[in-house]
Structure 1
Amino acid sequence: MAKKKNELWEWIKALVIAVVLAAVIRYFLFAPIVVDGLSMMPTLHDQDRMIVNKINYKVREPKRFDIIVFHAPEKKDYIKRVIGLPGDRIEYKNDTLYVNGKAYKEPYLDDYKKQVIDGPLTASFKLEETPVGQERVPDGELFVMGDNRRFSKDSRHIGTVPMDKVLGNTSVIYWPLNDIRKVK
């Protein structure tokens, strides 16, 4: 009887440790997220499942073109691409991104741009014409945009994203199985 009781106790301890470890990993290190909508097409598809790396930005700053997950004002988590870093001047002109006056290529948009026949994929704007209302991205904040520029609610509509609202970055799709890949 004592042996059965001891074995049961060992199973309970193992189960408790597994649950605590899973909670720590999910809360502090990595978490799953589901893409909801078409704002990141063609890079990400509706209902793609991804892993959010929550520790990456604890050891390094975000980079331009990272795909991040953040808490949006609507009490939802959004997935968007970092376009502007703190201190950047952002402008789109003739479907080209200019950061601090320098033109940047966005190869992840090339195929989408070819499909658009009725004007540019990204309408021209300057940062100060957005809700940011300033010439430069404020310190501690990011300017983000969805890849599906015509159908994305992003910094052009909601303003910049404070770093304390950023959950982490994501670059791996793990579901559906036929679409497993690392995205850029």
Structure 2
Amino acid sequence: MALTESNAPQPPFHDTTAVADERKQPTELVVREIVETLLLTFFIFWLVNSFVGRYRIDGSSMNPTLANGQYLLINNFSYYLNEPNHGDIVVFKHPNSDLNLIKRVIGVPGDHVEIQERQVLVNGMLLAEPYIQAAPTYTGDWTVPDGEFFVLGDNRNSSSDSHSWGFLPEENILGKAMVVYWPIADWELVPHVDHPIN
């Protein structure tokens, strides 16, 4: 049969498939946006957890600077760029156990640390330490080896630290304490002290 072009008006053509697609599209769009939002949320959560750690203070070894029960954020990335410095407050894995501890860096590699007559000296320089609970009642003499650090708690006479268990290997350091975020009433930046030691 031959087909010829007709000039007669034709009834409008309805594409039922297109109508069905138009109905599906808003649902698919919403689902896609939910999936994208969830993926973005998980990515941000992973990114934040990679750079920021959350820890709870258990004990009084950092009194009066940090108190038992406080929660703080640490910067996990800070020591990929720089070495820990005198006066930094760091979170680390205990060299001889599975515990995570928090202490203040007193000696860096090559330093000579002396504790005598209730005073701390680094390379012969007396440290001004307004942050400590009480002056140490113990004595000692240490030279910090390469790749290790000498750390003490601010509550000197009630702290398990380098004066009792030795030096802290650099690879055990998890990060630098940054912010106390809980309880809300205690919110503050963690007070690091810059000791200008030669």
TM-score by length of 2: 0.80
Gaps of 5+ in 1: 114-120, 128-134
**Structure-2 residue corresponding to 1:153:** 160
Gaps of 5+ in 2: 1-23, 192-198
**Structure-2 residue corresponding to 1:123:** 137
**Structure-1 residue corresponding to 2:15:** none
What do the CA deviations read for 1:47-66 (whole angstroms, capped 9, x no partner)? 11111011111111111111
**Structure-2 residue corresponding to 1:167:** 174
**Structure-2 residue corresponding to 1:69:** 91
8 Å CA contact 2:117, 2:139 repeated in 1: no
What do the CA deviations read for 1:62-116 (whole angstroms, capped 9, x no partner)? 111110000113212100000111011111112111111111111112xx33xxx
Structure scoring higher RCO (CA < 8 A, sep ≥ 6) equals 1
Displacement of 1:20 in angstroms is 2.0
* Structure whose residues are more often helix by fraction: 1
8 Å CA contact 1:96, 1:105 repeated in 2: no
Give the AA of the match of 1:93.
Q
Secondary structure of the 2:143 match is: coil
Secondary structure of the 1:12 match is: helix
Give the AA of the match of 2:68.
D
Give the AA of the match of 1:158.
W
1:34 aligns with 2:56: yes
1:140 aligns with 2:140: no
Larger Rg: 2
**Structure-2 residue corresponding to 1:131:** none
8 Å CA contact 1:31, 1:54 repeated in 2: yes
Aligned-residue identity in percent: 34
Give the AA of the match of 2:156.
R
**Counterpart Cα distance in 2 of 1:99 and 1:22:** 41
